[in-house]
């Protein structure tokens, strides 16, 4: 027991894993993809997307809608209010923006 506390077995824990660098494998954690409706396009290169999530209530079992307003980067500024867009998770772009618009699924009428 004293040998394990001293770090006998964990001496190589800080060593790099073989094949961890330079390998172009498929990433284990894919980026999150959501689809929602643009509710605001008043900012420059940014849209606010309302994503509706349907979940079962834990106690009563009724299906409940939860809406999240996500700020997304729209570099082309092609999305307008009412459009259905697909957004993908990305690195933090600003204080609130963590998503990018990848495509406009359906235009508003």
pLDDT digits (tens, 9 = 90+) for 38-97: 999 999 999 999 999 999 999 999 999 999 999 999 999 999 999 999 999 999 999 999
**Per-residue H/E/C for 41-69:** EEECCEEEEEEEEEEECCCCCCEEEEEEE
Alpha-helical segments (H) within the chain? 2-5
Predicted confidence band of residue 29 (pLDDT cuts 50, 70, 90): confident
- The predicted pLDDT at position 24 comes to 54
Return the SS3 of 50: strand
CATH node for 29-106: 2.40.50.140
């Amino acid at each position: 027991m004293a040998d394990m506390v001293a770090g006998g077995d964990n001496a190589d824990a800080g060593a790099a894993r073989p094949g961890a660098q330079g390998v172009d494998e498929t990433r284990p954690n894919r980026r999150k993809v959501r689809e929602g409706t643009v509710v605001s396009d008043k900012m420059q290169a940014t849209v606010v997307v309302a994503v509706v999530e349907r979940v079962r209530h834990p106690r009563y079992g009724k299906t409940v809608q939860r809406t999240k307003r996500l700020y997304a980067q729209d570099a082309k500024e092609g999305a307008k209010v009412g459009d259905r867009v697909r957004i993908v998770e990305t690195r933090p772009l600003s204080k609130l923006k963590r998503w990018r618009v990848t495509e406009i699924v359906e235009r508003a009428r």
